[in-house]
Amino acid sequence: MIDANSKTLLEVHDLHATVGGIEILKGVNLTVRTGEIHAIMGLNGSGKSTFSKVLAGHPSYEITRGTVLFDGQDISALAPEERAQAGVFLAFQYPVEIPGVANNQFLRLAYNTVQGKRGKEELDPLEFDDFVREKMKLLKMSPDFLDRSVNEGFSGGEKKRNEILQMALLEPRLALLDETDSGLDIDALRIVANGVNQLANKDNALILVTHYQRLLDYIVPDYVHVMEAGRIIRTSGKELAQELETHGYDWIHASDRVAGAQS
């Protein structure tokens, strides 16, 4: 929701980033205020997933130019865990499987670490068990998931639900959802989207990175940005997603040419 009383949460200015010496982001500008939901759309290779990883602090990417201000602080030199503790959360496109670590052990460790850093109360195993089971209801997850190894043998939908469960536990102020809709059937998509919607509020913000408009039927964005070749080339309201779905990404260029001819 766009709110007059909101404050600026994320301010990205002229962001350039490379991986292995190859420049992927070539000057991204984006401002996100509390309470807002942004969608970043684009074709494969446009740089949208890279953008979310750079914001979360993935060590393979190097910021070569520009600034990332989160809540007024430059976070570009912070380690991933420091960003997480500050309130940045990335829901992975491909959540990592960690055999040998029970999901409940991992979730409690993450929760208590972040709580501790934020000066809040940590939970013992029994308290946490009650707490996490309550949160799991939001995503219609069976308690069985607690005893299994982190993401190991989870279906695509189960992995994505586990991501949103982590979001529910860690209560980020800025959540980056990277292709959260990929690999989901329609029922799982509804459950995940419903969970995300319940977690969105006036004090946090969401960035949905997606290829398709489908997710945006369930999580309605305030802004839709189109990314191409490492830049945001178009920003508009939610209707932009619908137009992309109908006409395809080429339509942007066609409409740009028309716009260019008119100006």
Residues 6+ apart with CB under 8 A from 212: 181, 245
Q: Is 29 in the site for other proteins (CB under 8 A)?
A: no
Q: Is 85 in the site for other proteins (CB under 8 A)?
A: yes
Distances from the Cα of 97 to the Cα of 68, 142, 162, 193, angstroms:
30, 18, 11, 23
- By rule CB under 8 A, what count of residues binds other proteins? 29
Q: Is 218 in the site for other proteins (CB under 8 A)?
A: no
Q: Binding to other proteins (CB under 8 A): which residues in 99-138?
A: 99-101, 106, 109-110, 113-114, 117
Going by DSSP bridges, is the β-strand pair 37-41/205-210 parallel, antiparallel, or unpaired?
Answer: parallel
Q: Is 95 in the site for other proteins (CB under 8 A)?
A: yes
Considering only the stretches 50-58, 126-134, 183-191, 235-243, report the one whose residues sit in contact with other proteins under the rule CB under 8 A: 50-58
∠ CA(1), CA(246), CA(50), 5° rounding? Answer: 60
Nearer to other proteins, 56 or 252 (CB): 56
Residues 6+ apart with CB under 8 A from 206: 36, 37, 38, 174, 175, 177, 196, 200, 219
Residue 227 CB, nearest approach to other proteins (Å): 21
Q: How far is it, in rounded angstroms, from Cα 97 to Cα 94?
A: 9
Contact yes or no for 192/166 (Cβ under 8 A): no
Nearer to other proteins, 110 or 200 (CB): 110
**Number of C-beta neighbours around residue 177 at 10 A:** 28
Considering only the stretches 12-20, 40-48, 56-64, 65-73, report the one whose residues sit in contact with other proteins under the rule CB under 8 A: 56-64
Nearer to other proteins, 17 or 84 (CB): 84
Distances from the Cα of 134 to the Cα of 31, 66, 142, 173, 256, angstroms:
34, 41, 11, 21, 49
Q: Is 96 in the site for other proteins (CB under 8 A)?
A: yes
Q: How far is it, in rounded angstroms, from Cα 94 to Cα 236?
A: 28
Q: How far is it, in rounded angstroms, from Cα 175 to Cα 29?
A: 18
Residue 60 CB, nearest approach to other proteins (Å): 7
CA 105 to chain centre: 23
Among 17, 28, 139, 170, binds other proteins (CB under 8 A): 170
Nearer to other proteins, 100 or 260 (CB): 100
Residue 174 CB, nearest approach to other proteins (Å): 13
Residue 116 CB, nearest approach to other proteins (Å): 9
Where on the chain is the footprint of other proteins (CB under 8 A)? 56-60, 79-81, 83-85, 89-90, 92, 95-96, 98-101, 106, 109-110, 113-114, 117, 149, 166, 170
